[in-house]
């Protein structure tokens, strides 16, 4: 199929885009080539389709220009297809608070438009994501274990967030492709170690393990592949805060080195560092970096949620 035709299907299935609606594509100089088929697909569906191109950001979580933030808030539906993610920005949060249906596609490739997570049965993904989100909602204490390494943290009072890939109602938003349930751990409560063996934003797919040490909600050490790069991206300040705990729920997703898809893979968990102000936390760091690892054990309040990557959603 022509890529524009593929994009038409995505806009209808995932955003419910209709003729006469205002549709905005936000992109940057690096992703402009893949943004244009989305813009043309919006036109083909009869929407008032627009595209805004900005200079690429330096890292995920960095705010877009004010003009783009304003335009996002005025659109009925929008897609942000950029090199670095706009998901955890105040601009996205404000737009969806005003009713914009919004999907973010950071770093997506042409291959990802045609294969893997984007091809999912999103009714199945939505059902499983909802079940896991409910477990996070009701939980107070979480523990992740992998190969003798353990991380514990509080999620008491925090709300689980579903990213289902289906954003058809006003104010719904998330990644595309998608399939994850995530939550903001309570600041200052995370301690232990994380053995990362999937991928890391800014580093890519890992060929060997990366061991991260956390104390009182803050990354204090990193050893292994990508350690120096990760610490450089996060800096020495708020960027090292434990920001997110997420669980992949998309059985069609693949680990490719692009965290947009990697963190959605069924059987994986991810921990992110940096900002979480946009989904229930209190940290605004101007950076948000996900670290994906495979087949861990996860317990919520002592009850098994995941065993070696297999989700026990009926608990």
Break the chain into its structural domains and give their ranges: 3-114, 118-311
The residues near 70 (Cβ < 8 Å, ≥ 6 apart) are: none
25's tokens = 């594509």
Q: Answer whether 181's CB lies under 8 Å from 163's CB.
A: yes
pLDDT exceeds cutoff 90 at 268: yes
Bridge partners of residue 250, in order along the sequence: 265
Length of the chain, in residues: 315
Closest CA to 306 of 158, 117, 192, 135: 135
Find the mean pLDDT for residues 210-235: 97
Do residues 246 and 224 lie in contact, with contact meaning Cβ atoms separated by under 8 Å?
no
Mean pLDDT of the chain: 95
In this prediction, residues 142-157 reach a mean pLDDT of: 98
Of residues 272 and 114, more confidence is placed in 272
The answer to whether the beta carbons of residues 7 and 114 sit under 8 Å apart is no
Averaged over 208-227, what is the pLDDT? 98
pLDDT band at residue 163 under the 50/70/90 scheme: very high
pLDDT at 315 over 60: no
pLDDT tens per residue across span 183-193: 999 999 999 99
Task: Supply 46's token pair.
Answer: 């009869």
Cα–Cα distance between 43 and 64 in angstroms, integer? 24
pTM of the model: 0.85
Distance between CA 129 and CA 146 in Å, rounded?
22
Query: Helical H runs in 98-138?
Result: 110-114, 122-138
Residue 1: pLDDT band with limits 50, 70, 90: low
* Topology (CATH level 3) of domain 3-114: Thermophilic metalloprotease-like (3.40.1830)
Say what the pLDDT of residue 314 is: 62
Percent of the chain surpassing pLDDT 90 = 95
- Residue 2 pLDDT: 86
Phi, psi of 176 (to 5 degrees): -135, 130
How confident is the model over 111-122, as a mean pLDDT?
A: 91
Measured distance CA(13)–CA(6) in Å, rounded: 11
The phi, psi pair for 151, rounded to 5°, reads -125, 130
In this structure, what token pair is assigned to residue 136?
């996070």
């Amino acid at each position: 199929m022509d890529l524009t035709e593929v994009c038409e299907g995505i806009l209808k299935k995932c955003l419910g885009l209709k003729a006469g609606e205002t549709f905005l594509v936000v992109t940057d100089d690096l992703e402009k080539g893949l943004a244009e088929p989305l813009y043309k697909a919006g036109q083909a569906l009869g929407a008032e389709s627009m595209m805004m191109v900005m200079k690429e950001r330096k890292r995920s979580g960095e705010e877009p220009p004010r003009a783009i933030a304003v335009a996002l808030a005025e659109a009925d539906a929008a897609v942000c297809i950029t090199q670095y993610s706009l998901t955890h920005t105040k601009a996205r949060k404000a737009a969806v608070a005003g009713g914009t249906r919004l999907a973010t596609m950071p770093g997506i490739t042409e291959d990802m438009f045609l294969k893997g997570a984007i091809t999912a049965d999103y009714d199945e993904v939505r059902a499983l994501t909802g079940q896991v989100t409910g477990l996070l909602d009701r939980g107070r204490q979480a523990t992740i274990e992998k190969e003798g390494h353990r991380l514990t943290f509080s999620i008491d009072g925090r709300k689980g967030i579903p990213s289902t890939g289906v954003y058809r109602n006003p104010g719904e938003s998330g990644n595309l492709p998608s399939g994850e349930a995530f939550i903001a751990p309570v600041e200052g409560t995370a301690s232990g170690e994380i053995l990362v063996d999937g991928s890391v934003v800014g580093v890519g797919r890992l060929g060997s393990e990366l061991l991260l040490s956390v104390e009182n909600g803050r990354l204090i050490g990193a050893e292994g592949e990508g350690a120096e790069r990760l610490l450089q991206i996060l800096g020495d300040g708020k960027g090292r805060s434990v920001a997110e705990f997420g669980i992949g729920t998309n059985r069609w997703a693949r680990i490719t080195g692009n965290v947009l898809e990697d963190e959605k893979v069924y059987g994986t968990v991810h921990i992110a560092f940096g900002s979480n102000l946009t989904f229930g936390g209190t940290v605004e760091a101007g950076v948000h970096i996900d670290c994906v690892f495979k087949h861990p054990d996860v317990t919520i309040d002592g009850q098994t949620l995941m065993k070696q990557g297999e989700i026990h959603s009926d608990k």
